[in-house]
Chain A
């Protein structure tokens, strides 16, 4: 596991350079033109585009082996089950989890977090504390607020500094014997800040708390090793990892998952059902009620294969280069304010332009074929910290290029001309 930025940088230094032009051909959507101009897709933190192999994996399932899984004796059902379970193995291997039973397949990060809040949360009492940070996405805030309404748990918030970095001293000071669970993002979606997980996990464990990591933004950019990290839960989505929407993962430490009650009731999650009472299936199926997104899961497996073939260190090095270029241009751009200048940062550039609302920036860039995200990025507390209603966010992926970064800044110059 790469616990420090330095370790990652040394890996990046030996990573082969990406042949981005060749990789771009793997993504059919990148051939699209928007109003006659080539698409410049810089909204990867919202969702990444899908390579043909992922699209093919989904359509192959529907065209050749569509059947429900885990319960048919017929040929198709067995093929579908094998393909779906093979995807689970790929996920396990990808994040270095000890056992496949610890990989719960969900519909996304949001569901993964809600699963923990709902199920693990049943063991919490009034007055127990949950510690989050100020940089969390709404999906790592609201489930804990809902839990508080049900169980009387108390939500504590560790603040960030003006660079958008977690204040580790304040984080440590907020941990106490009532802290039962820490829920923290690996990488902030609004700021790009990467949290020093090894330190935070050690602090949480020393306080006797379990820790859930929201890896939605991180998994496409950083190698993740849940065993080396020693985290208790790790949640992420497939669709930001070049995989299908409606796919997600919850890694959970076996002992915790075994002790937790089911999340939803239904088919597949049971061992035996009678009106006198029912018993639950083994892990991970206890947490997988109903027919899952089978095609999506298979597509996620293909996405992981795709990313591993290219290699996350090489992807991270390429994205670090794009971010460095974009940051340098941003710093030299008059009237531009960067929101999020953490020392350890992923490929996200969040900013505002003086006197121009982000929505107007987004509309004008869109007429040039440039897709960025504008708004609060489901992180309203972050907007409040920086006293802005919204930001413009450009986020990079393995297929973005330096000429696309240049196109972004040419677009921003036009925005300023419109409002001159």
Chain B
């Protein structure tokens, strides 16, 4: 197996795709958004419970490839108790990591670093960012489903 491939499908990613964390509905959600990637058929609904500018809970449902499922799972973990402004900054850093444009001032990404290998597979970057685009829509209360293609 090539090093790039081993790096893409790391144990953490395979594990989160098989057993996604924070998977399921969130009846107390204060906002939600839908994401859809028509090319791969990936779709997810992201639920957020936001109070006093802080994301108290983030959960998601849907179907998708290993990369989009693991990315959504890892994202919901990272968002718990995260101020909404920080969540947007986190997405900016995450995006910069995938685009290979990270700056020293970017936020540390912690566990999300395992998705850095996606950078070597340009056709899969939209899989990794689907949940994040959906997050922005949920934060901004946009009702149109988000599409990445």
Binds B, one of A87-95, A183-191, A214-222, A354-362: A354-362
Tell me whether A359 and B2 are in contact (CB under 8 A). Answer: no
Smallest Cβ distance from B6 to chain A, in angstroms?
Answer: 9
The 5 closest A-B pairs by CB, nearest first: A389-B41, A357-B65, A359-B65, A390-B41, A360-B66
Q: What total count of A-B pairs have CB within 8 Å?
A: 55
A275 at the A/B interface (Cβ < 8 Å)? Answer: no
Smallest Cβ distance from A337 to chain B, in angstroms?
Answer: 16
Interface centre among B5, B40, B42 (most CB of A within 10 A): B40
Where the two chains meet, the residues of B that have a C-beta atom closer than 8 Å to any C-beta of A are: 1-2, 4-5, 8-9, 14, 18, 38-43, 63-67, 121, 123-124, 127
| A367 interface neighbour in B2, B41, B42, B123, Cβ under 8 Å | B2
Within 8 A of B (CB), among A310-341: none
In terms of DSSP, what is the predominant structure of the interface of chain A? mixed
Can you show 9 pairs from A to B with CB atoms below 8 A apart?
Answer: A357-B65, A357-B66, A360-B66, A367-B1, A367-B5, A375-B39, A389-B43, A418-B1, A419-B9
| B41 interface neighbour in A356, A360, A376, A419, Cβ under 8 Å | A376
In terms of DSSP, what is the predominant structure of the interface of chain B? mixed
| A419 interface neighbour in B40, B66, B123, Cβ under 8 Å | B66
Tell me whether B66 and A356 are in contact (CB under 8 A). Answer: yes
- Whose C-beta in chain A lies nearest to the C-beta of B62? A389
Tell me whether A359 and B40 are in contact (CB under 8 A). Answer: yes
Tell me whether B9 and A418 are in contact (CB under 8 A). Answer: yes
A270 at the A/B interface (Cβ < 8 Å)? Answer: no
Question: In the complex the two chains form, what is the Cα distance from A376 to B43 in whole Å?
Answer: 13
Question: In the complex the two chains form, what is the Cα distance from A141 to B124 in whole Å?
Answer: 29
A139 at the A/B interface (Cβ < 8 Å)? Answer: no
Chain A's interface size range is 10 to 19
Where the two chains meet, the residues of A that have a C-beta atom closer than 8 Å to any C-beta of B are: 35, 355-360, 363-364, 367, 374-376, 383, 389-390, 414, 418-419
- When A359-B127, A360-B66 are in contact, do A35 and B2 touch as well, CB less than 8 Å? yes
Smallest Cβ distance from B97 to chain A, in angstroms?
Answer: 19
- Whose C-beta in chain A lies nearest to the C-beta of B8? A363
Chain A neighbourhood of B124, CB < 8 A: 359, 363
Smallest Cβ distance from B76 to chain A, in angstroms?
Answer: 19
Tell me whether A418 and B5 are in contact (CB under 8 A). Answer: yes
| A375 interface neighbour in B41, B64, B66, B67, Cβ under 8 Å | B41
Chain B neighbourhood of A360, CB < 8 A: 9, 65-67
| B18 interface neighbour in A355, A359, A367, Cβ under 8 Å | A355
- Whose C-beta in chain B lies nearest to the C-beta of A362? B123
Question: In the complex the two chains form, what is the Cα distance from A414 to B6 in whole Å?
Answer: 12
- Whose C-beta in chain B lies nearest to the C-beta of A36? B2
Question: In the complex the two chains form, what is the Cα distance from A15 to B143 in whole Å?
Answer: 60
Chain A neighbourhood of B121, CB < 8 A: 363
Chain A neighbourhood of B9, CB < 8 A: 360, 364, 418-419
- Whose C-beta in chain B lies nearest to the C-beta of A420? B14
- When A375-B40, A390-B40 are in contact, do A414 and B65 touch as well, CB less than 8 Å? no
Smallest Cβ distance from B42 to chain A, in angstroms?
Answer: 7
Given contacts A357-B42, A389-B43, could you give 9 more A-B pairs where the C-beta distance is less than 8 Å?
A356-B66, A357-B40, A357-B66, A359-B42, A389-B40, A389-B42, A389-B63, A419-B9, A419-B18
Question: In the complex the two chains form, what is the Cα distance from A419 to B69 in whole Å?
Answer: 14
Smallest Cβ distance from B9 to chain A, in angstroms?
Answer: 5
Chain A neighbourhood of B1, CB < 8 A: 367, 414, 418
| B64 interface neighbour in A35, A357, A364, A419, Cβ under 8 Å | A357
Smallest Cβ distance from A383 to chain B, in angstroms?
Answer: 7
Question: In the complex the two chains form, what is the Cα distance from A414 to B8 in whole Å?
Answer: 14
Interface centre among B14, B64, B65 (most CB of A within 10 A): B65
- Whose C-beta in chain B lies nearest to the C-beta of A417? B1
Tell me whether A418 and B39 are in contact (CB under 8 A). Answer: no
Tell me whether A383 and B4 are in contact (CB under 8 A). Answer: no
Question: In the complex the two chains form, what is the Cα distance from A99 to B144 in whole Å?
Answer: 51
